[in-house]
Amino acid sequence: MVPLDASGDESLSISAVVIAVVAFVLVVILFSMIFVFVFTKKENTALKIKSPNMILLFLGANMLFIFLLTLVYLNAEVCGAIKCNVVLEDVARIAGYAMVCLAEPLIMLAYLMRYVRIQGIFKAQEQYYLTKEKPEAMIEFYSEALLSMIAIGGTGIFTIVYMGVGLPTTFALDDGYGYLPTYNLSLKDGNDHMYISLIYFCCITFIEGLCLAYFLDQMRLIKKDFNMLQELQIFTLCWVLLTEFVLFMIIQGLSAEWMTNVQYYRLMFYVILLRQLLIVLATTAKPIYQAFKNSVYFAIPANHECIDSVDMVLHIPIAVDAFYQYLISRHEHMKDK
């Protein structure tokens, strides 16, 4: 691979590497603390109604994403201003593809599946009211376990296909870049691979924005206590605006030669790191605060009149399971008659 910016200052680059590693470690520590808290307190009411297992998947995907992002940035910094390392270059190539096909899709799916689950609970409740029959298929489909498996399985299949096409072409070509989009960009004017990646990122950001806008519209129909409207608004704002800012700086900046290639990577690293930090805080800060504020929860199922209320179903930590068990027992009772 051709050095990204051979004129970079070595001492400045070493300092930048140290600062980036420290920033990465601090963010990972924060995410790990949040992960441990959510895992240990997931039976708390404030966390239970927010689908805690899917929040844990979301946190894990974010930690993977920033780890891969750091590898890509470190390679750019080392190769641009110090000396290219063959092993680090190869790792960065793999990391750049993995960010596109694994980490980022898993973040979006884990997040949006939480909305799908909340909406599904309300749909199951409405169906039960209308038919007085157990919505068996809906109960199974909208469980955290199945939705998590769908998110992981779908992302896994996409990753296998994407890597299967991307990696062979990457290592086969002399310039060290393949044909598929990646975060490990070759920021050189006239490079076809750079244009392919930037066009892809512009298109996928637009599609993500449309999906988030749709969910924002649909979220208004869900009861305020249980919806994710405010959280989703912050998520959408941070994700779309910061992503578009990075794309603007790269596309416009390259044509106007505002910065060196290494400086573009520095900008991308810190802005995207900030984006991931903000979306995690937007997702977890409120339920964690509420969990600290109110640790009281119901240890046993309420009576069937309470369980029959969707408000109680979502507020009691074990109420979703209790609600479904109540539907089953009611169904069996009606059969015996």
CATH number, position 25: 1.20.1070
Asked whether residue 93 is domain-assigned, the answer is yes
Query: With contact defined as beta carbons under 8 Å apart, do 61 and 113 qualify?
Result: no
Angle at 282 between CA 277 and CA 286, to 5 degrees: 130
Asked whether residue 240 is domain-assigned, the answer is yes
Q: Which residues span the domain enclosing 52?
A: 10-113+150-297
**Can you point out the beta strands (E) in the chain?**
none
Cα 320 to Cα 309: distance, rounded to the nearest angstrom = 11
Q: Provide, rounded to the nearest whole percent, the portion of the chain with pLDDT above 70.
A: 75
Q: What is the DSSP string of 152-192?
A: HHHHHHHHHHHHHHHHHHHHHSTTS--SS--SS----TT-H
Asked whether residue 312 is domain-assigned, the answer is no
Mean pLDDT, residues 302-309 taken together: 44
Mean pLDDT, residues 234-247 taken together: 93
Can you tell me which residue has the tokens 């749909």?
123
Q: Among 45-49, 218-222, 295-299, whose mean pLDDT is lowest?
A: 295-299
Mean pLDDT, residues 135-143 taken together: 75
Query: With contact defined as beta carbons under 8 Å apart, do 262 and 76 qualify?
Result: yes
Asked whether residue 140 is domain-assigned, the answer is no
- Nearest residue to 313 (alpha-carbon basis) of 18, 45, 33, 10: 45
Asked whether residue 89 is domain-assigned, the answer is yes
Asked whether residue 42 is domain-assigned, the answer is yes
Asked whether residue 241 is domain-assigned, the answer is yes
CA distances from 62 to 23, 113, 316 (A): 15, 15, 29
Kindly tell me if the per-residue pLDDT of 39 is higher than 90.
yes
Number of domains the chain is built from: 1
Asked whether residue 210 is domain-assigned, the answer is yes
pTM of the model: 0.80
Secondary structure class of 43 (helix, strand, coil): coil
Kindly tell me if the per-residue pLDDT of 124 is higher than 80.
no
Kindly tell me if the per-residue pLDDT of 7 is higher than 60.
no
